[in-house]
Structure 1
Amino acid sequence: MTRILHVLDHSLPMHSGYTFRTRAILRAQMAQGWDVRGITGLRHGAKGPVEEVVDGLHFHRTPGHPATGNPLLREWRDIAAHADAIDSLIGHWRPDVIHAHSPVLNAMAAQRAAKRHDIPMIYEIRAFWEDAAVGNGTGTEGSPRYWLTRQLETHAVRAADAVAVICEGLRGDLVARGIDPAKIIVSPNGVDMEQFGTPVPRDPAMTTRLGLDGADVVGFIGSFYDYEGLDDLIAAMPRLVRARPRVKLLLVGGGPCEQALRDQATASPFADHIVFVGRVPHDEVEDYYAQVDVLAYPRKAMRLTDLVTPLKPLEAMAQGRLVAASNVGGHRELIEHGVTGTLFTPGDPAAIASALAEMFADRGFWDDRRATARAFVERERNWSSNILRYQPVYERLLAQRPAHVRAAA
């Protein structure tokens, strides 16, 4: 039985798009009959034992706490601690392949251990760390730290035996850096249709409690980061309400921009049409999807959103919801305008309002579009089939192991 060790930033029981993608990968690989475990670094903030099973998945933890002090020295110590933990786990579990996931610190830690034990390693990039830092407000494009992180990322990709990325945007960027296209596979974001592909009926009591009775409901369910463009969505509400007086905006989630968005909504002349729910348990998310007619994703135009595909629009399509999103590169890989969703100009509240108003004005296409979008997810973004993209890469890496390592396996 092939053993795959996934090297991770964090995992369940923490909830994020990162952990849900990890869960989907591990569950699908276990269904293939592979022996799968994960090991997280010091940035995994959930309390718990150094080895635990969560939702049927086996995780190991790097012991200790993140270092403090100078950022470069701190990250170097974190890499060393993570590498030591990976090395220890390899000593008694003996994986056949190491599958490291971004950020690049994980790849650097995994490469140390992989080299020491002659184990092949694939590095999977979900977003470039330097661009993610710009997106969440902790970095600046073009700064010395941005440049250094980009160099580390390129070095890690060159050192890996194989590379996986979640979308064509990231693949194209690596190829432009001189990386051999044959070394890269695309393993796109997907949905576990067995777990998330059966929409639940709308709960009338919840509809009333949220003040949505008789409303045209626009919704956003996710994290409140600046790059998500929720300020533009709130700014679109006056125009949208004038065109569709029954419209309500339902915002589910939280994050760094939450208070600023609440303040913006309070100052809006149509504050009573904007409903903040806050964070909700993951097992209740489907109940909120059921309350929404159109899920809106108004991401701002920047490197991060042009290169990286989000997961949430796919979840909305799987739930049979209509999708409207800004016309940025990451959305264009998922949404065909007028076929599986509606695209509007990013950063333009008037364009957002116009696109949403037009969707509510003509419900005649809704059933066909929802069915088409769901079929797209089932056919091309279903984890049960997406996971097969890794298999030939694993097989090739295993075949390339040194003879003495193959003999000992």
Structure 2
Amino acid sequence: MSRPSPPRLGYLSAAPTVSTRPDAYSAGPRAHILGVVNGFRAQGWRVDPFIVGDRVGQRVTRGTLQAGLERWPALRLAGDAARLLLAARNRRAAWAELGGRVDWVYERFATMQVLGRRFKKAGIPWILETQGLFYYETRVERSTVGLPRLAERIEKAAYRDCDALICISPALKELIVEECGVSPGKILVVPNAVELERFSLENIPNMRYFEDPTIGFVGALIGWQVLDRLIEALGDLAREGLRFGLVVVGDGVMRESWEALAGRCGIADRVRFLGRVPATEVGRYMAGFDIGYAGAAAMQIGTMYHSPIKLYEYMAMAKPLLASDFADARQLIDGRDTGFLFAADQPDSLKAALRRVHADRHRLPLMGRAARALVAAEHTWQARAEAMIESLDSLLAAPSPAPATGTTVPTVRELAAP
């Protein structure tokens, strides 16, 4: 596809709670946005961002409003009204700032807030990225919307109307095809990745809290992360004489409950909850881990479709993985010497994995080096962006696909593999 040099991308993100500031509440979305933006820039694109979370007060991006929405139903209706009003204002502002000046727009989907349709009407390809079925998640997994049917209509229409849809996993793609009536031919699967430059291993202070093998976790302290199962398993193993340390970096609604659980399990002296730290400081805390934990409870929809960015960040810091047996973790660990898998809904499976970790504790540094080598070779944002641009060129040049089922589209991971 012919483009001017350098080509220009407008990056759109309407969610006021998602920011690229170092102290952003949502570290995962921050890392993903920066990964995509810097990945395109590494391919020679000029990227002009319109990120609403970078243009609002820091109180909004620190998670205060999110917690309120989950607690108070009346606030959800007010929140929906605010979303719709902000969407209308930000659509006009994004077009005024970027309309006619970019070759593509790439939008990170936000609940009830769609900015890219105006660009499509003007003939600018609208690429929409989604990290989940938000109309389902905000109604079932967490209660943060007051008008769920309206949220569902807006989301499904956006998926159908965009020129190309980016999904983070094959499982999410399948659900969107089935639930939203979107043609599989317009969907690209682009899992998470990592910017290795953010995770240098040289001259980094080692924040070590325990002499025992140390399990580390970085992320939001919310129920589906199942840290409670890890704490219970560590308590059981301590009574068998197997000692671990646990360092938790992050904050969230479950922190108080999980701190109390560590006390009840008799391991409070071997668990450190450090709270939220600036994104620029995360690496030095990871440096003190021996292994990174990524648990994930089964979702009520029946399929775990997320692609947790922490997997790639642990590996970038040369840490092997202790992860639930979901698709993204499985493809990083199965057949490789990079970590340990367990069944999320089986406590005995987690304890068995922890016993293997303890038995192999002297090999963990070697496994960590293999983990870093894997992400360096196959899972950087530069590689993802290169393959994504190539795939989008082909997709956008082709006639619009008709809705269909049973079509197999190669994932960007497959296209990027050496």
Matched-pair contact (CA < 8 Å) for 2:318–2:370: no
User: Counterparts of 1:335 and 1:377 in 2: how far apart (Å)?
Assistant: 12
Task: Give the Å deviation of 1:246.
Answer: 3.4
User: Counterparts of 2:329 and 2:137 in 1: how far apart (Å)?
Assistant: 17
Q: RMSD over aligned Cα, in angstroms?
A: 3.0
Identity of paired residues, percent?
Answer: 26
Matched-pair contact (CA < 8 Å) for 2:19–2:52: no
Aligned partner of 1:218 among 211, 215, 218 = 215
User: Counterparts of 1:135 and 1:194 in 2: how far apart (Å)?
Assistant: 37
1:51-130 residue pairs with structure 2 within 5 A?
A: 70-91=78-99, 94-106=101-113, 108-111=114-117, 113-130=118-135
Q: Confirm or deny that 1:356 pairs with 2:354.
A: yes
Match of residue 5 from structure 1: 10
Match of residue 290 from structure 1: 287
Secondary structure class of the residue paired with 1:312: helix
1:28-47 residue pairs with structure 2 within 5 A?
A: 28-41=39-52, 45-47=56-58
User: Counterparts of 1:291 and 1:240 in 2: how far apart (Å)?
Assistant: 22
User: Counterparts of 2:139 and 2:285 in 1: how far apart (Å)?
Assistant: 30
User: Counterparts of 1:255 and 1:360 in 2: how far apart (Å)?
Assistant: 29
User: Counterparts of 2:202 and 2:157 in 1: how far apart (Å)?
Assistant: 43
1:142-153 residue pairs with structure 2 within 5 A?
A: 146=148, 148-153=150-155
User: Counterparts of 2:251 and 2:30 in 1: how far apart (Å)?
Assistant: 17
User: Counterparts of 2:365 and 2:279 in 1: how far apart (Å)?
Assistant: 27
Deviation sequence 1:275-319 (CA, Å, 0-9, x none) = 111112222211111111121222111148711110001111111
Matched-pair contact (CA < 8 Å) for 1:317–1:323: yes
Kindly tell me the number of residue pairs found equivalent between the two proteins.
371
Supply the AA of the counterpart residue of 2:297: K
Distance 1:232 1:148, change over 3 A: farther
User: Counterparts of 2:395 and 2:320 in 1: how far apart (Å)?
Assistant: 41
Supply the AA of the counterpart residue of 2:338: T
Task: Give the Å deviation of 1:399.
Answer: 5.7
Moved more, 287-296 or 335-344: 335-344
Matched-pair contact (CA < 8 Å) for 1:200–1:290: no
Task: Give the Å deviation of 1:372.
Answer: 3.2
Aligned partner of 2:164 among 142, 162, 165 = 162
Task: Give the Å deviation of 1:81.
Answer: 1.3
User: Counterparts of 1:370 and 1:2 in 2: how far apart (Å)?
Assistant: 38
Distance 1:223 1:135, change over 3 A: farther
Secondary structure class of the residue paired with 2:250: strand
Aligned partner of 2:196 among 183, 186, 193 = 193
User: Counterparts of 2:295 and 2:397 in 1: how far apart (Å)?
Assistant: 45
TM (norm. structure 1) is 0.81
Distance 1:260 1:134, change over 3 A: farther
Distance 1:362 1:330, change over 3 A: closer
Secondary structure class of the residue paired with 1:277: strand
Distance 1:44 1:305, change over 3 A: farther
Distance 1:368 1:263, change over 3 A: closer
Supply the AA of the counterpart residue of 1:325: A
Moved over 4 A (4+): 42-45, 67-72, 144-148, 199-202, 396-401
Secondary structure class of the residue paired with 1:292: coil
Secondary structure class of the residue paired with 2:47: strand
Distance 1:371 1:327, change over 3 A: same
In structure 2, runs of 5+ residues without a counterpart are 1-5, 60-74, 400-418
Distance 1:70 1:249, change over 3 A: closer
In structure 1, runs of 5+ residues without a counterpart are 49-66, 402-409
Match of residue 278 from structure 1: 275
Matched-pair contact (CA < 8 Å) for 2:120–2:162: no
User: Counterparts of 2:204 and 2:53 in 1: how far apart (Å)?
Assistant: 40
Moved more, 385-394 or 328-337: 328-337
User: Counterparts of 2:272 and 2:296 in 1: how far apart (Å)?
Assistant: 20
TM (norm. structure 2) is 0.79
User: Counterparts of 1:277 and 1:68 in 2: how far apart (Å)?
Assistant: 30
Moved more, 265-274 or 157-166: 265-274
Secondary structure class of the residue paired with 1:351: helix
Task: Give the Å deviation of 1:362.
Answer: 2.6
Distance 1:299 1:103, change over 3 A: same
Distance 1:341 1:173, change over 3 A: same
Task: Give the Å deviation of 1:394.
Answer: 4.9
Secondary structure class of the residue paired with 2:97: helix
Task: Give the Å deviation of 1:116.
Answer: 4.4
User: Counterparts of 2:42 and 2:243 in 1: how far apart (Å)?
Assistant: 46
Secondary structure class of the residue paired with 2:357: helix
Task: Give the Å deviation of 1:224.
Answer: 0.7
User: Counterparts of 2:170 and 2:312 in 1: how far apart (Å)?
Assistant: 16
Moved more, 324-333 or 165-174: 324-333
User: Counterparts of 1:105 and 1:43 in 2: how far apart (Å)?
Assistant: 19
Matched-pair contact (CA < 8 Å) for 1:102–1:125: yes
